[in-house]
Structure 1
Amino acid sequence: MDAGTNKQKSNQRLSIFELEALREAFRQSVRENDVAEAEWAQHAELFVKKTSQKGGRLTRT
């Protein structure tokens, strides 16, 4: 892949529906893992890493 293709992919945005699905998945993860509100930022980082490793779409391709 060339730099132009990478830049194009990084500039695409998620739809409101994709954002809502991601938000709900995060909320569910917080509930399932009993994460305290003070730990949400750290949990969010891990959630994003795991979601992207599983092939989840955090950015449009």
Structure 2
Amino acid sequence: MDVRISKRRTTGQMSVFELDALREAFRRSVRENNVTEVQWAEHAERFVKSMIRKESRGIQA
């Protein structure tokens, strides 16, 4: 396992590049799902929970 990945996972920190990729993925999800600005908060909550589930599955693999 890459030491940098291991350290990041234990500290809960994300790089600027990871945050940028996550932000772009959220924007893409908003466009693809035709989410209005009023719905962003609810959509963001579901989006983050979905990303956390995907991430936790990736760690277990």
Do these two structures clear the TM 0.5 threshold for a shared fold by scoring above it?
Answer: yes
Q: In the TM superposition, what is the alpha-carbon distance from 1:54 to its structure 2 partner?
A: 1.7
Normalising by structure 2, we get a TM-score of 0.69
Secondary structure of 1:54's match? helix
Count of residue pairs brought into register by the alignment: 48
- Which structure has greater helix proportion? 2
Separation in 2 of the partners of 1:55 and 1:32? 21
What is the match of residue 34 of structure 1?
A: 34
Note the residue ranges of structure 1 that are not aligned, 5 or more in a row. 1-7, 57-61
Distance 2:27 2:47 in 1: 10
State the TM-score, normalized to the length of structure 1. Answer: 0.69
Mark the CA change 1:40 to 1:15 in structure 2 (over 3 Å): closer, same or farther: same
